[in-house]
Structure formats: C-alpha cells, structure tokens
Structure 1
Amino acid sequence: MAKFELKLPKMGESVAEATVTNWLKEVGDTIESDEAVLEIATDKVDSEVPSEVDGVLVEKLFDTDDVVQVGQTIAIIETEGDGGEDSCTPESSAVETKPKPEMVDAVEEKVEVAKQSTQTAVESSDDRFYSPLVKNIAKEEGVSQSELDSISGTGKDGRVTKNDMLAYVENRGQQQAQPKQEAAQQPTTSKPAPAPAPKQKPAVSVNGEDEVIEMTRMGKMISKHMVDSVQTSAHVQSFVECDVTKVWNWRNKVKGDFAKREGEKLTFTPIFMEAVAKALKDYPLMNIAVDGDKIIKRKNVNLGMAAALPDGNLIVPVIKNADQLNLVGMSKAVNDLANRARQNKLKPDEIQGGTYTVTNVGTFGSIMGTPIINQPQVGILALGAIRKVPAVIETPDGDFIGIRYKMFLSHSYDHRVVNGALGGQFVKAVADYLEAWNADREV
C-alpha cells in the first residue's frame, strides 16, 4: 500500500487559489482514476478536481469553504503498489497488505507540518498571505500595505477575503474622516465639517407571502461584474438587419451530411462566429482592451461565447484563435464548450483571455438586445432570432416582394474608445459576410 497526495492543480495563469465548495467523496470511499473527488470554485468558474489514481480516500485536509492554494495537498488517497514519485511514502513492498506503522506516522507528520506551515504563513505579520484578488482590490482602491495589514480577516486562520476588502473600502471614507477632522481642528470656535453620511440602500419590505431566495455565488459574481461594467464603459449600441436566407438554405442542405461525417450538429452559431472573426481581422481596433488611459491592441482573436447554464446564469467560454479555425473546427469548438458549460465541466483557463464576445439572444426568442460589455473588452454582439418575413428584393428586372430569413445584429461598444463610425462599420461587416454567403460552399 502507498499514500498519494491529491494536490490542487494549476487552473490558469491568473488563478492562484480556490475555495472548496463540496466534497463528492468521503473518507473510506473507493475512488477510480479520473473520478471527481471534490468541487471547487474560483473567482472565474466552478470546477471539479479528479483523482489521478485508483484507491481509497483516507484523509481530507480541508473542509468546505476553506481556501486552498494551487499546488497544496487537498487529500490523501491510499493506493495499491508503491504509488510512484508523487506518493507520500518513498518505498513500499509489493507483498505487504498493510502500510508499515512508521510509514503512516511519516504521512501524518508531513500533513501536520503542511497544516502548520500554512497557518504560520497566514498569521505572520511580516509575511501575511493575500490572494491576487485581494491585492488587486487594494491596488485599485489605493489601499496601502499598512492599511492592508491592519484589516481583520474573516477567512480561514484570519485570511483577508474579498468581502473583507469590499467592506473595508466601503467604510473607509467614514473611518478616515474623524482623524482628519481632529488633525485639522484649530483652537478657534470654528466647527469641523461633518463627515458625509454613508449611503443607505433602501430597505425592502417582505411580508409573509413573499419568498426570499438567496443569490448563488455565481449570481453574486455576475451581478457585480455587470454593475462594474456599466460604471466603467460608456455603452452605445448600433443595430443592423441582416438577410441570412443564403445561410439558412445552405445549412439545411449540408447539415445532414455534416452530422453523419462529423458526428455533431451544425448549428448557426459557428457560422456567425466565423463572420465575427473575419470582421475583427478587418477592424482590429474592435479587438482591443482598455487599461487606464492606454489601449491594448490584441494580437489573437479569442471569441467569448455566452452560454446559458441550467440554473439560469450565464458563463462565457472562450474560443482561442478563432480566426485560424475553419468551419468544421469552429463547429467542434462551439459544441464542445457549450456542452461542457452545461455540465459545469469547464476549466478556469477556458473562460479567460477573451478579446470580444458574442451572445445569442435569439435562442430565447428575442429579436434584438443591448448586452453589457464583458470587461475589459470594448464590444459585444447580440444575435437576434431568425425570422421569416416579407421583404423588398432588388433585381436587375425590378423590385418585388418575397419571403426572406432575416435577423437583427445588435452591437454594444465602449464609446470611450470606439466611435459610432467604427462600431457601425464593424457590425455592418459581419452582416455583409453573412449576406454574401457562398451557397455552393463545401464544409
């Protein structure tokens, strides 16, 4: 027998820690390789941590709601054989059926040392640990290191959490007003200006017939991101009606053969994403981000694709280097990300790095929408429902009324850096690519 240390895996460049949200296995449970052991949550996405070996869970080192650093050991799994180089014990005998007592003692001692090291790192005043998210909030709000060190944390072992930071920043102005007033007082009869009263949120009245529903963790995150985006960007919209009759007829013609050959459905989404990727290459100043008073021009075209989750929330997986994919590759990427989003199996780095976002409001029957920009991007395109409508058709022989398939493209963009001309030209380019679709194209 041997002991294997299950560690928190790396989850993207910007993710340094995660919160344990649910243990899927209990001590004594048998675990197979690649089977999920626990669920975790970062500030980006929820995910599962699978086992790398077959064995039995013998120890859980963290409880629900504990924060774990990338690379830390989360659990101990007892395995058959020597367990390889990642196991806790350096040696194991193939003929033994029970671990040696000294081996168990070594494991327990190592785990205890790890726990004490973590606690010491948190409690040390000289080297107190702060998560990247907490550090970013401190930087954005101008919180000094001495202020940060003085904040009482409510997390595990006194760790300062995001909520601690937000509460401190909210009350900071009121807390600093009193010392400033006392320092500014002169031995005269003049009275110091009263400190501004904190803004009070209107109370919500609840009677016995109302139902109070607690927002989910993801719901709270989405709520904050949406408010932050509206407060950051000057949202402006442009709308274009697009004739997608050629696309509609072409897809109906090829979707059967595509499904037989590729084993997947050909939806409209990859077709639209291809057109957006082409338009971003034509108008690279839509593929940018804003950093203070600087504009970052992105080299890669990474398309975010808003996907609905079973609980009603939205998540935005990212198709990396979308401009380099053909339609088959785009279709496979769209289907894969959408399916795993619904199953809550996306990896944290699969929802990061987007440079532009597309959302299909037509899925819910909406003909158009005014979506909120996904920061720090500067644009987001909403795809409206495809409708069969009467339309004027221009021909060399004159105009006539015919039945066409049409949809609205709604483009929201950041008016701080994108003017109306660029915002309008970009969405018109997307429409032009779709209307000029080659009816004889092979896929």
Structure 2
Amino acid sequence: MASEIRVPNLGESVTEATIAQWYKKEGDAVSQDEPLVELETDKVTVEVPAPSAGTISEITVKEGETVEVGALLGQIGEGSGAGAKEKDTGSSEKSEPKAAEAEAPKSEEPAEAPASSGGEGVDIKVPALGESVTEATIGKWLKNEGDDVAADEPLVELETDKVSVEVPAPAAGKLGSIAVKEGETVEVGAVLGQVMAGAGGGAASKPAESKSSDKESAPSGQSKSSGSSEMPPSPAASKHLKEANLSADQVEGSGKRGQVLKEDVLSAIEKGLTDMQASGGSKQQPQRAPVAAEDDAREERVKMTRLRRTIARRLKDAQDTAAMLTTFNDVDMGAVMELRKSYKDLFEKKHGVRLGFMGFFAKAVIQALKEIPNVNAEIDGDEIVYKNFYHIGVAVGTDKGLVVPVVRDADQLSIADIEKTINDFGKRARDGKLKMEEMQGGTFTISNGGVYGSLMSTPILNAPQSGILGMHRIDQRPMAVNGQVVIRPMMYLALSYDHRIVDGKEAVTFLVRVKEAIEDPQRLVLDL
C-alpha cells in the first residue's frame, strides 16, 4: 500500500509553505524518516521525513510551488526500492536487502564500520531542540572516532539560537564514524555519527585523518564537501533578491548548508544592503575602516556563534520595534539586608539555598505588576494582550552570552522556592544544560547588573515583553533621613518600558511600588 507524503503541522498561525528543495526524485529508494523535501515558511525551514521505507512513486508538487498544511506532496510505493537504487548508482550492493542499510551510514566506507568495530551501529541523532527550533550547529565533538564511550555519556555539543545542548551516547561501546564535522549546520533528526554498541575496537584507525579534516573545515564553519557555497537561494528568497536588486552573495544565509532564505533577504534589506549594491559591496555590513598592515597582523577574526548572532539580532529588533524609554529611582536596601543578616543561616539550613536579593525583588515586581497590568502585557499587531499570570525571566550571564530562563507562576511561589529555582537556573546555564522550554513564555524580566559592579544602566527589553527591571550595585551613600545626613546602602533601579503600551505615569508608579516593597519588606508578607 502506498504511503502519502503530506505537509506537516507548521506551527501556530502558519498555514502554508513553499517547496524549497526535493532531496529525492521519482524512483529513488528511501528509508523511513529519511528527509525527502525541504519546506520554507515565513519563520523557519522544515524537512519532511519519509513516512515509510520504499520507493518514491510520485512527486505531485514541484519546487517553488506554495502548499497548505496537509497538502499531498507525493507518494512512496511499497518495497525496498533496491532496484531503483541499483539503476542510479550501478554499485555492487545488489545483495543488500534494505534501502535503510544502503543509505544510513554517512561515512565514506559505510559497509566496513560495523564489521571492523565488532559491534552493531547505533545512530547518534540530533534530538528535539524545542519549539520553533529546527536546526543547530556542531559546536564541538567531545570524543574522537574509536574512543570508548559509556551509555548517556556526552558525545557532541550542539549550539542553537538560544542554548547549547549536549547529545549523549545512545549506547555503550566505541564511537564509530563521525558524519558531521564541527561548524556544520544540522537539522532535528539528522544522523551525526554512530556508536558501535559493545564494540571491542578497530574503529580507531582513522581518527587522526578525520580530526585533521575537521580542523581544516572548522574555521569557516562549513564542511568542504557540503557544497554550501553552491546552495542556490530558496525560491521565495530568489524572488525577494530580484525585487531588491541584490545578489545571493550579498546576503548571509542561515538555512541548511548556508542557503539564503526569505527572512535573510528581508533582514538584509532592513539593514540597508541595497545601498551597498551600487558600490559593489558584499555581505559585510558597514564598510570596515582602513587598518594599518602592522595592526591587521595582530587582529584575530572569530566567527560569531549562533547564540551571539541571535542575541544581537533580538536586541536590535527590540530597539527598532518598541518605543523604548527608561525611568530611574533609588532604593534603600537597609531593611532587606538586615532581614537577610538575621535569618540567612536559618534560611539556608531549612531550604538548602542561600537567601539572596532576587527573591525579594521578584515578589516586589509581582505586586507592582498586579497594580500596573500594562507592564505585564504585550502588543500583538493592533491588540494588547494582558497576561493574567506572572512568568518572571531572570537574566543570567554565561561564557557564551546572555540567557533568560523563566520562573513560571512566580506569584504562587515562596521566596525560598524562587531562590531555589534561580539558583538551579544559574548552575545549569553556566553548564549549557538549560532546556529550551525553560527560556520561553516570560512576561517580565529582571536583570542584575550589580553582580558585575554596574552603577546604572538602561536595560534593553526582552521582546515581546513591555518591561524589564535593572538592578545595580549597592553603594554606601550619604542620604537625608528625618532631617539628618546618614550613610545608607543604596541601589539605583532602572525600568525600561515600551512607551507604546506603558505611559510615563504607569512606569514611575511601578518603580515606586517596587521601591516601597523593598524598603519595607513586611509589605511582601502582608501583600500590601
């Protein structure tokens, strides 16, 4: 019975896609779950896997055509499709009973790896990376071909737009072939290599050669054999390139193997690359200033990581989209500091975590958000979406960039629970082990630049949120209290907000409410 290839669900509000590229043609043999066709939407590119093994009997939609969710793309006929494979390749593998066995290994000697290693090959695949994340870059292989590995031992580090993810070994044995090199981009479900389960050795004969080629390809971020420089733009991207009078080499491609996608072209147009075209400019964004030869020799160029590129894009998008404004106030931290001093030992003994400032500020922010709901809302088109829940994002700095894990339903948590959650987030963020879903859905963000010594700053919104609170360092400053000058531990607070939805009076009132709660923490207990 024939299996139908159909357009899958493409995510919320996405109803159609363009056929970017067919990886197979009619008559080709395919294995189950093997990528067949790449679809391009307004937001992401998606690969459609084979629903079953067999031979492609019909392709009903051509490249460049637009289809809706659920549309029929083609059909797979019954059988292994071995005959079609033999006609295409003329190889001597006619005795292979399954198409999957002929295609699955990606190394140059697929038939030899299992035999030489003495174990059964188990594929190492790219895991699900979270909502709307379809691809990742190979950051670093933690093992070499031929190395012994234990089940669930981390093998390779993947870098996505938001976090780094370690892929564990699917079985104990030896690492056989490495199919994808450092710097290459892969999609969810792609085979990264194989572990020879229960292997006794023999796969280590080629690690030096493999790593050598890795090093050659790593600086460019692309495999020399991937053909990424020859990937044509997607059909939708080609249309927009033509309209904007741009060429593909003027646009940085973010698709598979460096392919230029529709959103890449639109982003390039926004950045003003059309003005560079007349002067023969390339994809470099503003023209680099002249550098003396002796200085140029002392420079070092390092490709931006996907996480850093995403941080840069999101921060710039927030500035371009929101009418961002910042209001300031200062807060006397004396009462909270005395409270911490009195109860820190008892608190840590009971809850197993140190009592910090973030729990107090999270509670103070929630009280203020309840009074000023616009700061907890967001703009969606011409509508305001009010959030009747309080998911508080906490900015955490790591070696690879800023991440913002979210404390969900923080209004229902105690200060101890908030401190435990934030402490756990901090540890896992530094180890690159945060989950994608833990950094989505925040309604308001708190950023503490004071831990780095910042006196004052204007934090940038974490779009599409409408507010972010900036905390800063605590300084002993002379203050007038009841007609006398006294030295008090003071902290500057900054609230950046989207003026399109939050008025100045509301922003100032919000910050005053936070100040009042911190200076009189009994308010937090009494919910005042």
Same fold? TM cut 0.5 = yes
1:276 equivalent in alignment to 2:385: no
CA distance in 2, matches of 1:34, 1:318: 27
The alignment covers a number of residue pairs equal to 369
In the alignment, what sits opposite 1:374? 462
CA distance in 2, matches of 1:286, 1:159: 39
In the alignment, what sits opposite 2:291? 206
1:418-437 residue CA offsets vs partner (Å, 9 max, x unmatched): 11011111111111211221
Contact 2:173 2:196 in 1 (8 A): yes
CA distance in 1, matches of 2:184, 2:261: 11
CA distance in 2, matches of 1:205, 1:174: 20
Q: CA deviation at 1:51?
A: 2.4
The answer for unaligned runs of 5 or more in structure 2 is: 1-118, 202-225
In the alignment, what sits opposite 2:411? 323
Contact 2:363 2:524 in 1 (8 A): no
Q: TM-score scaled to structure 2, two decimals? A: 0.61
Q: CA deviation at 1:333?
A: 1.0
Pair 1:68–1:162, CA change in 2 (3 A): farther
Match of 1:410 among 486, 494, 513: 494
CA distance in 1, matches of 2:334, 2:414: 21
Contact 1:270 1:330 in 2 (8 A): yes
Pair 1:276–1:364, CA change in 2 (3 A): same
Pair 1:48–1:272, CA change in 2 (3 A): same
In the alignment, what sits opposite 1:107? none
Contact 1:66 1:156 in 2 (8 A): no
Q: TM-score scaled to structure 1, two decimals? A: 0.72
In the alignment, what sits opposite 1:251? 340
1:114-168 residue CA offsets vs partner (Å, 9 max, x unmatched): xxxxx9xxx999xx989xxxx9xx7xxx959999xx9686865674368953686
Q: Which AA in structure 2 matches 1:20?
A: I
Q: Which AA in structure 2 matches 1:436?
A: D
Pair 1:333–1:213, CA change in 2 (3 A): farther
In the alignment, what sits opposite 2:62? none
CA distance in 1, matches of 2:524, 2:466: 35
1:309 equivalent in alignment to 2:409: no
CA distance in 1, matches of 2:169, 2:361: 38
In the alignment, what sits opposite 1:106? none
Q: CA deviation at 1:317?
A: 2.1
1:221-265 residue CA offsets vs partner (Å, 9 max, x unmatched): 333322222221122111122122110000111112222333322
Contact 1:250 1:439 in 2 (8 A): no
CA distance in 1, matches of 2:494, 2:451: 14
Match of 2:437 among 335, 340, 349: 349
Moved more, 433-442 or 242-251: 433-442
CA distance in 1, matches of 2:146, 2:341: 54
CA distance in 2, matches of 1:157, 1:363: 40
CA distance in 1, matches of 2:128, 2:372: 35
Contact 1:274 1:330 in 2 (8 A): no
CA distance in 2, matches of 1:7, 1:241: 51
1:272-318 residue CA offsets vs partner (Å, 9 max, x unmatched): 1222123223322111222232222234322221222236x322222
1:27 equivalent in alignment to 2:114: no
Structure 1 segment 6-405 matched on structure 2, within 5 A: 6-80=124-198, 143=240, 159-160=259-260, 165=265, 169=269, 201-207=286-292, 208-209=294-295, 211-214=298-301, 216-217=304-305, 218-310=307-399, 313-394=401-482, 399-405=483-489
CA distance in 1, matches of 2:321, 2:175: 47
In the alignment, what sits opposite 1:115? none
1:332-386 residue CA offsets vs partner (Å, 9 max, x unmatched): 1111111222222222222222221111122222222111111111111111212
Q: CA deviation at 1:213?
A: 4.1
CA distance in 1, matches of 2:438, 2:515: 28
Contact 1:246 1:438 in 2 (8 A): no
Contact 1:306 1:360 in 2 (8 A): yes
Query: Identity over aligned residues, as a percent?
Result: 34
CA distance in 2, matches of 1:440, 1:240: 19
Secondary structure at the counterpart of residue 175 of structure 2: strand
Q: Which AA in structure 2 matches 1:5?
A: D
Secondary structure at the counterpart of residue 274 of structure 1: helix
CA distance in 2, matches of 1:380, 1:213: 35
Secondary structure at the counterpart of residue 346 of structure 1: coil
Q: Which AA in structure 1 matches 2:492?
A: F
Moved more, 247-256 or 384-393: 384-393
Contact 1:11 1:349 in 2 (8 A): no
Over aligned residue pairs, what C-alpha RMSD do you find?
Answer: 3.9
CA distance in 1, matches of 2:162, 2:386: 23
Structure 1 segment 403-442 matched on structure 2, within 5 A: 403-438=487-522
The answer for unaligned runs of 5 or more in structure 1 is: 82-96, 99-118, 178-194
Higher relative contact order (CA 8 A, sep 6+): 1
Moved more, 44-53 or 165-174: 165-174
Pair 1:283–1:440, CA change in 2 (3 A): closer
Pair 1:336–1:214, CA change in 2 (3 A): farther
Contact 2:231 2:257 in 1 (8 A): no
Contact 2:375 2:467 in 1 (8 A): yes
In the alignment, what sits opposite 1:192? none
Secondary structure at the counterpart of residue 522 of structure 2: coil
CA distance in 1, matches of 2:301, 2:402: 17
Pair 1:326–1:214, CA change in 2 (3 A): farther
CA distance in 1, matches of 2:188, 2:349: 42
Pair 1:75–1:162, CA change in 2 (3 A): farther
Q: Which AA in structure 1 matches 2:512?
A: K
CA distance in 2, matches of 1:172, 1:363: 39
Pair 1:277–1:162, CA change in 2 (3 A): farther
CA distance in 2, matches of 1:154, 1:275: 41
Contact 2:234 2:261 in 1 (8 A): no
Contact 1:246 1:439 in 2 (8 A): no
Q: Which AA in structure 2 matches 1:206?
A: V
Q: Which AA in structure 2 matches 1:26?
A: N
Secondary structure at the counterpart of residue 261 of structure 1: helix
Contact 1:36 1:50 in 2 (8 A): yes
CA distance in 1, matches of 2:146, 2:507: 59
